[in-house]
Amino acid sequence: MSVQKQFLTINDIKKGLLEKRFSALEVTKNYLKRIKEKDEEINAFLVRTEELALSQAKEIDKLVSEGKKLPVLAGAPCAVKDIILIKDIKCTAGSKILENYIAPYDATVIKKLKDSGAVILGKTNLDEFGMGSSTENSAFKITKNPHDLSRVPGGSSGGSAAAVAADECCYALGSDTGGSIRLPASFCGVVGFKPTYGAVSRYGLIAFASSLDQVGPLAKSVEDAKIIFDVISGKDKMDSTSAEVKWPKSDYSLKNLKIGVPKEYFIKGIDPEVKKIIKETIKKAEEQGAKIEEISLPYTEYALAAFYIIAPSEASANLARYDGIKYGLSENEKGGILDVYLGTRSKGLGQEVKRRIMLGTYSLSSGYYDAYYLKAQEIRNLIKEDFEKAFDKIDLIFTPVSPTTAFKIGEKTEDPLSMYLSDVFTVTANLAGLPAVSLPCGKIDNLPVGIQIIGKPFFDYQLLQAASFIEKLSL
């Protein structure tokens, strides 16, 4: 028996195991071999958990041999962004300050994956503490886009997206603070889903901005994304922001679906070819019976500015714990406690993280709190109201994910503002706490283009159902 087909989905693997066409151990070894062959040029992985993966695969094969019911993710090898804790495995958050940190417990999402039969192949590269749009801000390596090795995979979950796109895993987990799942999904041509804030526990996710962060899947299909979401979603007593949800029962079909297309998302500066592909996809939906309506989300133009005040402000508070005292790197060259703080943070944190800590600390400081942070929170509320008014009339919102396709490595590293603009279409969903998905809808010169679908709060399943219709139109 052998694993012939590449790009296996979760159901492909489960069906193959039940039909005994291959074993979970064979599948796992096949992926581990592919990582060894491919990852030297892609740099998707920071840590490989070969021993853990093989032991998990053997457990699944034992269930098969005993004729027991297989869990939903049985034998499906995955990768995990290295900002999510896996017990007894290194978790760096892409930072030198946590280079040798070993996680003491499983994040809730990892516990749920393990209970559902997942096989964990390793931890993937990211922008340090999730701060970036290209995965060039990692302290350890630069991940490359499998479609063009001279280009970025997007960020900050670039390692997870690249691993899925290169078929180095069946699916992956990422985290999304302002587009960090959706942007790399778009750049790498995979499905990336950011659930409604609170739908998935953040316990065991190293915090960047606590009111914005959300764990979600990167997968080869919308169906796989839904399967993973089924597993990882739900109320968690360890996370007070997680929600007890009675998922709405209403179904979507393309016929008579009301789709809003906000004019603010087709601004000057968007690549004309990207705009053309998005518009063509929306047209296909209209031809299948969807009703298309141009809408306005007027506070969108302030979203990026508000995000880059709120997120760094929360980061400056969350990252205060990395002080060289409790865990992680500790530098003590002169002996005083202030020297420990300054030495540790100076040596252990990268330039982008330092930049955001300073921005956040400034925004929260006396005399500037009202002028910056408070104003940003007021804008955030207005953005939420924009969406609420829009969803009174429509079911879903369709937008681009990014103004461009994947850009060249090094192209934007010297211009932080240019890099921040990569998030211009994605930050609004985080600010409003809405579910949003990126799925491939075309290519420009072999570089993938993603369309973003944004839904109402906790209408995650309806959103994924609609995304599966659009996925079929784009095939």
| Angle at CA of residue 121, ends 117 and 125, nearest 5° | 130
Alpha carbons 55 and 33: distance in angstroms, whole number:
16
Alpha carbons 298 and 286: distance in angstroms, whole number:
24
Write the pLDDT tens digit of every residue in 318-339: 999 999 998 899 988 777 888 8
- How would residue 352 be classed by pLDDT, with cut points 50, 70 and 90? very high
Q: What is the pLDDT of residue 4?
A: 45
Give per-residue burial for 355-394: e unless 16+ CB within 10 Å, then b: ebbebbbbbbeeeeeeebbebbbebbeebbebbeebbeeb
Q: Which residues contact 271 (CB under 8 A, 6 or more apart)?
A: 403, 404, 405, 444
* Average per-residue pLDDT for the chain: 95
Write the pLDDT tens digit of every residue in 47-77: 999 999 999 999 999 999 999 999 999 999 9
User: Could you list the active site residues?
Assistant: 81, 156, 180
| Mean pLDDT of all residues in 245-267 | 88
pLDDT(302) > 90: yes
Domain boundaries, the chain: 1-288+400-475
Alpha carbons 181 and 126: distance in angstroms, whole number:
11
The CA dihedral of 82, 147, 9, 178, to the nearest 10 degrees, is 50
pLDDT(105) > 70: yes
Q: What is the pLDDT of residue 269?
A: 86
CATH architecture of 1-288+400-475: Alpha-Beta Complex (3.90)
- Which residues does residue 261 pair with via DSSP β-bridges, in sequence order? 294
Nearest to 203 by CA among 192, 214, 195: 214
Write the pLDDT tens digit of every residue in 172-225: 999 999 999 999 999 999 999 999 999 999 999 999 999 999 999 999 999 999
Write the pLDDT tens digit of every residue in 144-177: 999 999 999 999 999 999 999 999 999 999 999 9
